[in-house]
Structure 1
């Protein structure tokens, strides 16, 4: 694997994770939060690849395996389930 690709994975994972965190923190509603979790999924996938393909970064790879599972739950919850009665006033 080329060093340029490994570096791109690292920086994409970091940048997309920041963007996703901003979207989720803004609490813009169900759909935008769900799309924030989709971006988190791509970040986790990138950092898993970087973690296992790069040198001395396996810990980040394993951390993002766990985060990927959490992020998939977020995608499911915010994009594929109906809001509960209390959440119906949420601007989606």
Structure 2
């Protein structure tokens, strides 16, 4: 397995874990950490998409990074 595969797997696992945390919905601390994990996943996906030359995946995750940072900002104020 090459290093880029490890990045992709880490991104996928972070995305799954973050989705579960945010979907759970409470406590607020769990949701806030879910958005932090989503942010990490978006950064990993951005790195993988740059390395792969995949503009569609890059654009998607740049937007999701912004959404996730907004989620971090919103939820961290609640805890």
TM-score (norm 1): 0.78
Contact 1:51 1:62 in 2 (8 A): no
Matching of residue 75 in structure 1 with residue 72 in structure 2: yes
Q: 1:8 to 1:58 in 2, by over 3 A?
A: farther
Which consecutive segments of 4 or more residues in structure 1 shift more than 4 A?
none
Structure 1 residue 58: Cα displacement: 2.5
**When you count helix as a share of all residues, which structure comes out higher?**
2
**Residues matched between the structures, number:** 79
> 1-side partners of 2:14 and 2:65: how far apart?
13
Unpaired runs of 5+ residues, structure 1, are 84-91
Alignment of 1:1-92 (within 5 A): 4-55=2-53, 57-79=54-76, 81=77, 83=78
The answer to whether the 8 Å contact 1:37/1:71 transfers is yes
Q: What is the CA-CA distance between 1:34 and the residue it aligns to?
A: 0.4
Q: Give, in whole Å, the separation in 1 of the partners of 2:45 and 2:58.
A: 6
**Structure 2, unaligned runs of 5 or more:** none
